Amino acid sequence: MIAMNAQQQDRSSFFVGYETFEMTMNKFQNFAGEVGYRFNEKHQIRLMIGEVNLTERHLSSKWESAAVDGDNVEGYFRIYELYYDRYFGKRKNFYYSGSIAYVKDEYNHLISTNRLVNETATVGVAIGYRKENIFGIKHLYTNISIPFRYYFNNIPETQWEGATINAHRFVNNFWFFIGYQF
């Protein structure tokens, strides 16, 4: 019992992480990351911050984004998302979350003057997995988070000379953070 209490005390900590998946797909343009506090083995809060220049290749990729059908569109994605995470399971690595966010999406057509800018509040849920002490390095962690959010101010499907901006009402992402807990 004493060992478990020591483990629970070790779980209480601030942490900061860098998002690598979205940043890799977009040539590390700008920044995406998380900062948070883990209260104990079951509860934590996180703020995910993302400022990402979206490449034409990324937006038109069916595997990576599926935001645009067609070419000649690039964009920008800003997000400030606050999560409350609740861990479950025997090892307390898996979690589910509730979230609220501010999101700004921008799309620019490269061969015309068409531009779309959308700002919205969102609510969402997420599932995730966090692993601590990666490679035997104390305090190093990875966090995989898959959020699903509802856009209050949605983006309708939009046609631009051979390109289609897909509707944004229910939007998901895949975040992969590498970080350090203090």
pLDDT band of 10, cuts 50, 70, 90? low
Over residues 175-180, mean pLDDT:
96
Contact criterion met (CB below 8 Å) for 55 and 71: no
159: containing domain = 2-181
Over residues 175-181, mean pLDDT:
96
Task: Assess whether pLDDT exceeds 50 at residue 178.
Answer: yes
Quote the mean pLDDT of the chain: 91
Half-sphere exposure at residue 21, Cβ-oriented, CA atoms within 13 angstroms: 13
Instruction: Encode pLDDT of 85-115 as tens digits.
Output: 999 998 899 999 999 999 999 999 999 999 9
Instruction: Encode pLDDT of 135-172 as tens digits.
Output: 999 999 999 999 999 999 999 999 998 899 999 999 99
Instruction: Encode pLDDT of 18-67 as tens digits.
Output: 999 888 877 787 899 999 999 999 999 999 999 999 988 888 888 878 78
CATH number of the domain at 14, please: 2.40.160
Question: What's the pTM value of the predicted model, to 2 decimals?
Answer: 0.88
Name 8's Cβ contacts closer than 8 Å, sequence gap at least 6: 40, 41
Gyration radius (Cα) of the chain, Å = 18
Q: Number of folded domains in the chain?
A: 1
pLDDT value of residue 162: 87
* C-alpha distances out from residue 26 to 11, 32, 59, 81, 94, Å: 33, 11, 9, 20, 27
